A = this chain, B = another copy of it.
Amino acid sequence: MAEHIVRFADRAEPITVRAGTLLVEAARRLGLDIQQPCGGQGRCGRCAVRVESGRVRRRSVLRLSKADVEAGYALACQTVVEGDVSVVVPPVEQIERRLTTDHVAPEVVVPVGYDPEKAQTIGRVFLRLSPPSMDDQTDDWARLCTALRRRTGIDRLRASLPQIRELGGTLRSSGWHVGLTYDTAGEPPGTARLIKVGPMASEASEPLCGLAIDVGTTTVTVFLVDLLTGEVTAQSSEYNQQIARGEDIISRIVYATKGGGGEELRELVLATINGRVAAVCGRANIEPAAIVKATLTGNSTMTHLLLGIPPESIRLEPFITSINQPPLLSARDVGITMCSDGTVDLLPGVASYLGADITAGVLSSGLRSSAETTLFIDIGTNGEMVLGSSQWLVSCACSAGPAFEGSGVVHGMRADRGAIEEVWIDGRSYEPTFRVIGKGQPRGICGSGLISLAAEMFLTGILDKGGHIDESLASPRIRRGSHGAEYVVAWGGDTANGDDITITAVDIDNLLRAKAAVYAGFNVLADRVGVELDSVERVLIGGAFGKYINVEKAVDIGLLPDLPWERFEFLGNTSVKGAYLSLLDREMRAEVGEIASAMTYVELSADNSFYEAFTSALFLPHTDLSRFPSVETSMT
Contact = CB atoms under 8 A, between A and B. Distances in A.
A599 to B, nearest CB: 12
Interface in A55-113: none
Given A134-B606, A159-B327, 14 more contacts: A132-B320, A133-B318, A139-B323, A141-B324, A141-B325, A142-B324, A142-B325, A161-B308, A161-B329, A164-B322, A165-B310, A165-B322, A168-B310, A168-B320
A153 interface: no
A142 B307 CA distance: 17
Interface string A129-144: 0001111111111100
B320 A137 contact: yes
Interface in A284-320: 307-310, 312-313, 317-320
Nearest to A606: B134
Interface string A396-410: 000000000000000
B172 A307 contact: no
B322 A141 contact: yes
Given A139-B323, A324-B141, A307 B164 contact: yes
A318 B140 contact: no
Q: Please classify how large the interface on chain A is, using the bins under 10, 10 to 19, 20 to 34, 35 or more.
A: 35 or more
Nearest to A161: B333
A169 interface: yes
A165 B334 CA distance: 12
The 7 residue pairs across chains A and B that have the minimum distance between CB atoms? A134-B606, A141-B323, A168-B322, A139-B321, A139-B324, A132-B320, A134-B318
15 contacts: A137-B319, A137-B351, A139-B320, A141-B322, A141-B325, A142-B323, A158-B327, A160-B333, A164-B307, A164-B322, A165-B309, A165-B310, A168-B310, A168-B320, A172-B313
Interface in A111-164: 132-142, 158-161, 164
A309 B168 contact: yes
A59 B497 CA distance: 75
A352 B137 CA distance: 9
Most buried by B among A134, A325, A334: A134
Interface of A: 132-142, 158-161, 164-165, 167-169, 172, 188, 307-310, 312-313, 317-327, 329, 333-334, 351-352, 601, 603, 605-606
A309 B133 contact: no
Copies of the protein in its oligomer = 2
A168 B318 contact: no
A371 B264 CA distance: 65
Nearest to A316: B172
Contacts of A140: 313, 320-323
Contact of A164 (B138, B161, B313, B326): B326
Contacts of A320: 132, 137-140, 168
Contacts of A136: 318
A230 to B, nearest CB: 30
A312 to B, nearest CB: 7
Contacts of A601: 137
Contacts of A333: 160-161
Nearest to A329: B161
A142 B324 CA distance: 8
A307 B188 CA distance: 27
Contacts of A308: 161, 165
Nearest to A159: B327
Contacts of A352: 137
A318 to B, nearest CB: 5
